[in-house]
Amino acid sequence: MNRIFSFLALPLLLLWSACTTKADPIIENEEEVITDVIYQLQPVGGGEEITMTFSDPDGDGAEPAQINVTGPLAANTLYDGTLVVSNLSDSSNPEDITAEVVAEAEDHQFFYVPSTSLEVDLTYQDSDGDGKPLGVLTQLATGGLSSGTLTIILRHLPNKSSQATISDPAGAGGETDVEVTFPVSIED
């Protein structure tokens, strides 16, 4: 009897293990590699576009990042903002990271943090599929003459239900994909 059981046990064990379901593999959504950031500000009603650019094609390599702002913002003016992020580390294969961020909007959020000396107010003009803010499209309203900095941050997997605001990412959590700071002035 033990022999019969031994002969049957092995095929039954193999059959049973072949029929069990395997867990689906966990697909990780890796952080984006971002080498270039362009923030375009177009005055509502017309006027000169202001462009802020950050470029660091070699990432953490020896070459320093290049930061440029095409001019001062006009006082008491409303601007429509558009943000473009790219990976240009391989010039033969540039990547439009903005499209990836929009496609994965529930997993991303941009923050725009002005220094306390810079008189600007920012608002989100886009959202993800759940109605939570994204930040590729913004509006920026300038106040009086001032100068300071504007820091743009992209968070991956933030807590979009937190109390974080467009200019205060505290509490949002998540991983920072990119953080760049631009010098900004507001003039007449």
Per-residue pLDDT of 153-172, as tens digits, reads 999 999 999 999 999 999 99
CB atoms within 10 A of CB 46: 7
What tokens were used for 183? Answer: 């010098």
- Beta carbons of 111 and 169 less than 8 angstroms apart: yes
* E strand intervals along 88-187: 95-96, 108-114, 120-124, 137-142, 146-156, 175-187
Write down the pLDDT at residue 32: 75
- Quote the mean pLDDT of the chain: 89
What tokens were used for 4? Answer: 């019969």
Q: Give SS3 for 9.
A: helix
Write down the pLDDT at residue 22: 53
Give the model confidence (pLDDT) of 64-122 as tens digits: 999 999 999 999 999 999 999 999 999 899 999 999 999 999 999 999 999 999 999 99
What tokens were used for 83? Answer: 């943000």
**Residue whose tokens read 């992209």:** 154
Query: What is the average pLDDT across 137-162?
Result: 98
